[in-house]
């Protein structure tokens, strides 16, 4: 009986002294996963999953959230994320998720905008992965709906909205004389293979897939070195990340010295680079 009692006491002490598993930090992905722009969300989702898998940052969970398709619904979701103390940063893309109202609703959550959606770094915790000079060269504003852009007379120059798969399907006339400007690099063969191998349901990676990968890696590194949202924002402000797109660091909320690539549609409706880089800085 005494031996059993001693064994029970030892077992209880071991349980009491064991270290509880740390609560995972979270990185949110707010993007459209339903409706007209669902390709935007899924294109990024598989890239972000792949990036966090490659980074192997533990414990860090991905929290994908559909933006609801409107600015009002995206704002509600951003506000809800702000009430989750485990969410240390958010990745956003798409028209609703990058609207000023949505970015404001994130409150103190650091936000990384993937691509040029016409967003502004209105707070020090907002970081935009684009070259701000790109917008001066667009004849189709970045926040134009894809259905409207598809009806415009060429020639014109648009941003990532014109690079969506559905644009070529919506376009009732020729794709020639349409230029697309972006700081994003088209996925190469190696990334495409890795992207497809990561998940049976992974789609063909679009223009922003590789940039979404880099966004997740750099944000994950910032979270790993931080204890809270404020520390994560400071890390993003000062860090120098090297990835698929070369060096990424931020200045005044934008990607410093981000490239501007230009793309054109081929006869088969696929995107091809016109030049590697048409402008730097």
Q: What is the pLDDT of residues 141-197, one digit of tens each?
A: 999 999 999 999 999 999 999 999 999 999 988 898 999 999 999 999 999 999 999
The domain segmentation of the chain, as residue ranges, is 23-131+184-257
Q: Quick check: 81 and 106 in contact, CB under 8 A? A: yes
| CA atoms of 203 and 190, how far apart (whole Å) | 15
- The whole-number average pLDDT for the span 24-48 is 98
- Label residue 233 by pLDDT band (50, 70, 90): very high
Q: What distance separates the 2 farthest-apart alpha carbons in the chain? A: 91
Report residue 268's pLDDT band, with 50, 70 and 90 as the boundaries. confident
Lowest mean pLDDT among 14-18, 181-185, 193-197, 228-232: 14-18
In percent, how much of the chain has pLDDT > 90?
84
Cα–Cα distance measured from residue 29 to residue 50, given in angstroms and rounded to the nearest whole number: 13
**What Å distances lie between residue 225 and 49, 235, 261, CA to CA?**
20, 8, 32
Angle between helices 189-198 and 209-224 (to 10 degrees): 70
Residues 23-131+184-257, CATH architecture: 3-Layer(aba) Sandwich (3.40)
The token pair at 30 is: 């707010």
- The residue behind tokens 């071991």 is 14
Please give the Cα distance from 104 to 126 (Å, whole number).
9
Task: Please determine, for residue 12, whether its predicted confidence score (pLDDT) is greater than 80.
Answer: no
- The H-assigned helical ranges of the chain are 2-17, 38-55, 71-82, 100-105, 146-149, 165-170, 189-198, 209-224, 229-238
Nearest to 165 by CA among 33, 267, 40: 40
Query: What pTM value is reported for the model?
Result: 0.90
Buried b (16+ CB within 10 A) or exposed e, 7-46: eeeeeeeeeeeeeeeeeebbbbbbbbbeeebbbbbbbbbb
pLDDT at 4: 53
- Contacts with 167 (C-beta within 8 Å, 6 or more apart), sequence order: 146, 149, 150, 161
The pLDDT, as a whole number, for residue 275 is: 64
**Which backbone phi and psi does 153 adopt, to 5 degrees?**
-75, 135
Task: Give mean pLDDT, residues 62-80.
Answer: 99
SS3 204: coil
Q: Is 20 helix (H, G, I), strand (E, B) or coil?
A: coil
pLDDT recorded at residue 22? 72
76-85 contact pairs (CB < 8 A, 24+) = 76/105, 77/30, 78/30, 78/102, 78/103, 78/105, 78/106, 78/109, 79/105, 79/107, 81/28, 81/30, 81/106, 81/109, 82/106, 82/107, 82/108, 82/109, 84/26
My answer on whether omega of the bond before 59 falls inside 30° of 0, hence cis, is yes
pLDDT tier at 9, thresholds 50, 70, 90: very low
Mean pLDDT over all residues of the chain? 91
């Amino acid at each position: 009986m005494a031996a059993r009692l001693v064994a029970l006491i030892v077992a209880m002490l071991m349980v009491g002294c064991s270290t509880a598993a740390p609560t995972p930090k979270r990185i949110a992905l707010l993007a459209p996963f339903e409706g007209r722009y669902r390709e935007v969300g899924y294109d990024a989702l598989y890239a972000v999953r792949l990036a966090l898998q490659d980074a192997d940052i533990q414990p860090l969970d991905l929290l994908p959230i559909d933006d609801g398709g409107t600015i009002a619904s995206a704002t509600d979701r951003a506000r809800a994320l702000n009430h989750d103390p485990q969410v240390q940063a958010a990745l956003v893309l798409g028209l609703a998720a990058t609207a000023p109202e949505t970015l404001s609703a994130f409150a103190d959550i650091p936000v990384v905008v993937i691509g040029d959606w016409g967003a502004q770094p209105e707070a020090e915790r907002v970081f935009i992965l684009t070259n701000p000079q790109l917008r001066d060269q667009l004849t189709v504003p970045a926040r134009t709906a894809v259905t409207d852009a598809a009806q415009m007379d060429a020639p014109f120059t648009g941003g990532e909205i014109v690079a969506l798969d559905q644009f070529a399907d919506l376009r009732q006339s020729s794709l020639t004389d349409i230029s697309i400007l972006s700081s994003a690099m088209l996925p190469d063969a190696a990334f495409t293979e890795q992207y497809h191998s990561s998940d049976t349901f992974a789609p063909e990676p679009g223009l922003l897939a590789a940039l979404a990968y880099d966004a997740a890696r750099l944000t994950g590194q910032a979270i790993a070195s931080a204890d809270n949202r404020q520390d994560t924002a400071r890390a993003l402000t000062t860090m120098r990340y090297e990835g698929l797109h070369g060096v990424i660091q931020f200045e005044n909320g934008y990607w410093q010295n981000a490239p501007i690539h230009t793309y054109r549609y081929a006869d088969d409706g696929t995107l091809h680079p016109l030049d590697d880089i048409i402008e730097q800085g």
